[in-house]
Amino acid sequence: MATRQTSSSGRPKSPRIQVVLPEDLCERLTALAEADSRTVSNMAKVLIQQGVERLEAARAGAAPTPERFREALEQQERVGTQRLRGAPRRLRLQRPG
């Protein structure tokens, strides 16, 4: 169960959990955190958030959220995908035979 502490101002702090990681996973997490100029704790939070969102979306039938849609579009732009120009053309289907 997550523990909740109170700050010196009396406001509740975010819940805290304790996780035990294998040595190699901890080293990989530390390297990712350093590459993104984050603390290891913040990097773990970000990765857990993404994993939970991905799992919830998969269980909910992958209903797209605006954030996920935006992320997908940004990834496409990074890859160099070209945007369509103008209205799509009509395709003519040829009948076999």
Q: For every one of its 97 residues, what pLDDT tens digit does the chain have, with 9 covering 90 and above?
A: 666 677 778 788 888 899 999 999 999 999 999 999 999 999 999 999 999 988 888 887 766 677 777 777 777 766 655 565 666 667 677 777 6
Rounded CA gap, 6 and 46, in Å? 23
Residue range(s) defining the domain that contains residue 53: 23-78
The pTM of this model reads: 0.55
Look at residue 28 and tell me if it is in a domain.
Answer: yes
Look at residue 1 and tell me if it is in a domain.
Answer: no
Number of structural domains in the chain: 1
Closest by CA position to 2, among listed 14, 17, 20, 12: 17
Give pLDDT, residue 73. 76
Q: Yes or no: say if 42 and 35 are a contact pair by the CB < 8 Å rule.
A: no
Look at residue 4 and tell me if it is in a domain.
Answer: no
Q: Yes or no: say if 33 and 42 are a contact pair by the CB < 8 Å rule.
A: yes
Rounded CA gap, 78 and 28, in Å? 25
Rounded CA gap, 76 and 23, in Å? 35
Look at residue 54 and tell me if it is in a domain.
Answer: yes
Q: Yes or no: say if 44 and 30 are a contact pair by the CB < 8 Å rule.
A: no
Give pLDDT, residue 64. 63
Give pLDDT, residue 28. 96
Look at residue 61 and tell me if it is in a domain.
Answer: yes
Give pLDDT, residue 49. 93
Rounded CA gap, 4 and 93, in Å? 64
